């Protein structure tokens, strides 16, 4: 008759998840952490956002300029 100490036996799913997390942590530690992540963040998110903002600002400038010239043209026609 085999005696089991309470709390030491693991179920199949518990053993499986323990193995899985061990493999996952081994993969993470194998990767080399470098400080170049900030550059990739800039490339993927910040630069396109800044380009978008600059484009919008330019569009507004052009629209304002067009409106001003139209307004002046109307005034000239009235005279």
Higher pLDDT, 40 or 55: 55
Give pLDDT tens digits for 1-32: 566 566 666 787 877 887 777 777 777 666 66
Evaluated on CA atoms 53, 57, 62, 67, the torsion sign reads positive
In a domain, 59, yes or no: yes
In a domain, 29, yes or no: no
Q: Is residue 31 part of a domain?
A: no
The verdict on residue 73 lying in a domain is yes
pLDDT at 5: 61
User: 18, 41, 22: which is closest to 30 by C-alpha?
Assistant: 22
DSSP state of 32: P
Greatest extent of the chain over all pairs of C-alpha atoms, in Å: 113
Model confidence, pTM: 0.41
10 or 53, which is more confident: 53
Cα–Cα distance, 59 to 71 (Å, whole number): 18
Residue 55 structural domain: 47-79
């Amino acid at each position: 008759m085999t005696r089991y100490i309470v709390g030491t036996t693991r179920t199949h799913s518990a053993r499986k998840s323990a193995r899985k997390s061990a493999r996952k942590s081994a993969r993470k530690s194998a990767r080399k952490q470098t400080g170049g992540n900030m550059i990739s963040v800039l490339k993927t998110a910040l630069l396109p956002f800044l380009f978008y903002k600059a484009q919008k600002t330019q569009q507004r400038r052009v629209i304002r300029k067009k409106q001003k010239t139209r307004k002046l043209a109307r005034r000239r026609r009235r005279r």
